[in-house]
Structure 1
Amino acid sequence: MTTHREAWPTGTPAWADLTVPDLAAARAFYGPLFGWEFEVGGPEVGSYTQAFADGRRVVGLGEPMSEDPAPPPAWCVYLATQDLAATADAIAEAGGKQVVAPMPVLDLGRMGIFVDAAGAVFGVWQPGAHTGWDVVEEPGSVVWSEVMVHDQPGAVAFYERVFAYDVEDLSAPGFAYASVSVGGAPVAGVGGYGAQAGADAPAAWTLYFGVPDTDASAARVTELGGTVVSPPTDSAFGRMAIVAGPFGEVFALMGPTADA
């Protein structure tokens, strides 16, 4: 995909950031893994850091705000909106909850953090000067976003109500999954955990980062201090692996299959 610097359509994953207790350690892990360069914020935004791939904005990294206790290290995906107040109202009406109230971030935009009806945390971003990430679907950038829950039909109904998605059911026996689209373009997935996941598996969004070689990148995760949660395996969409960073934050790798 070419560089995209305009605002993303409502409901489209538009930004993501990682909250960790040690930004230097995070940069030392993610920089070599994805080839990112970093820009540390100034006095207005403190140590909040943006990662770039080939000069294009990809994701953010930050330290916990003043919550006590601090939230566990995790990636957060932000879905785009043109009207954060209206989206926040729709989230509440659909059974979601507010974690961080809608707030301005300088002239960059407005943000809020919410929990969906199934218990998964996500963000919402109304762009100002900051329109979100500049590139997707390339190595070093996000290539897919999905939420996994125990009540998949309920989660589909929640997101469809809030963002007016078009929904395509991709379920198969023993596997509940839907692709949600904006303007005819698939933007995210909503899946249901199978019995093997166990009742304690948390509802959560997962970001898939593109890599040129999934096996090599999974090995690099271990070398850099992370963990391979689910080893590389081929899927209909590429070769994927679930991994965790040095603080236990979970994300996924996606690259071409061997015969691609």
Structure 2
Amino acid sequence: MAAVSTSDPVMYGAPCWVSLVALDIAAAERFYAAVLGWEFRGGPPGEEFSVARLRGAPVASIGALGRRGIPVAWTPYFAVPDADAAANRILERCATVAVGPLSLGAGRAVIAADRDGAVFGVWEGEVTPGWTVGRDAALARLELRTRDAFDAAIFYAEVLDWAKDETACCQVAYENDSVVLRQGGDQVARLRGGALEEAPDPHVRPRWDVHFRVADLDEAVATATRLGGMAVTAVDTGPTGPSVTLRDPDGGLFTVTAGSGPM
């Protein structure tokens, strides 16, 4: 997690960062630089992470796995006013707190899994200025693939204060057979049902999927394949534009989406 001081107000419950835990930071940097056009800047001395930038703006971070046995994966973080309170809410709702609350730089983080096993993080503290999801952002959207979208929406609403009647909270709506999270009117996440908890393929198990924009979808897929990754889906020509889910060389799943502009 990388946080930078900003005077902008924090919208609690909104996505505020995405991070990859990798087996080899340098190898992951080379792969994502080639596929997504990112440049990297190392973290403070003694801290094993680097920050990815696109056209000078921070977009994500890559950190080293703390111990073996943890899968390589992308994790979204959501802003909260109190990490301890969020952790308690997670536990009270029969979900899992895996790490934290842990002090990191200018804030505190929790890594958790919801009741169906999808991993996510919460972040208390300063957020990265200019980091957004959706319009003209490197991160096109977040999508939760889960067993029951309505049950998941209730869980996250209770943990993250979604849909509260306050201006600093995200709003939730039901659209096109999915639950949609909006931040200031913009769609930032979608919750879709149908994932299988015991599926052997991690692509169809409950998880948060990160969708990154690319200028040329075919080129991104070809580059990922050449560098040891692989496409795990065919091209999805859904309403948000063509996309392909990829697996990086260490098994981390992410989706590339063509084009720019609103989702």
TM over 0.5: yes
Structure 1 residues 36, 7: closer, same or farther in 2, change over 3 A? farther
Q: Which moved more, 1:159-168 or 1:24-33?
A: 159-168
5+ unaligned residues in a row in structure 1: which ranges? none
Closer/same/farther in 2, CA of residues 198 and 88 from structure 1, 3 Å limit: closer
Partner of 2:11: 9
2:26 corresponding residue in structure 1:
24
Q: For residue 215 of structure 2, give the secondary structure of its aligned residue in structure 1.
A: coil
Q: Distance in 1 between matches of 2:71 and 2:250?
A: 9
Partner residue of 2:144 out of 143, 147, 151: 147
- SS in structure 1 of the partner of residue 192 of structure 2: strand
Per mean C-alpha deviation after superposition, the further-off stretch among 10-19 and 34-43 is 34-43
Q: Is the 8 A contact 1:78 1:125 kept in 2?
A: yes
The one of 202, 222, 226 equivalent to 2:225 is 222
The match for 1:89 is: 88
Shift of 1:145: 0.4
Q: 2:74 maps to what in 1?
A: 75
Per the TM alignment, residue 206 of structure 1 is displaced from its structure 2 partner at its CA by: 0.5
TM-score (norm 2): 0.84
Query: Which aligned pairs between 1:81-120 and structure 2 lie closer than 5 A?
Result: 81-106=80-105, 108-120=106-118
Shift of residue 70, structure 1, vs aligned partner: 3.3
Q: How far apart are 1:35 and its partner, in Å?
A: 1.4
Report the Cα distance in structure 2 between the residues aligned to 1:255 and 1:171, rounded to whole angstroms.
21
**8 Å contact 2:17–2:131 — kept in the other structure?**
no
Q: Percent identity?
A: 30
RMSD, matched Cα? 2.5
Encode CA deviations 1:133-153: one digit per residue, 9 max, x unaligned: 735446772110011111322
Q: Give the number of aligned pairs.
A: 244
Letter of the 2:12 counterpart:
T
Letter in 1 for 2:173: E
- Higher deviation after alignment, 149-158 or 111-120: 149-158
From 211, 219, 222, the counterpart of 1:208: 211
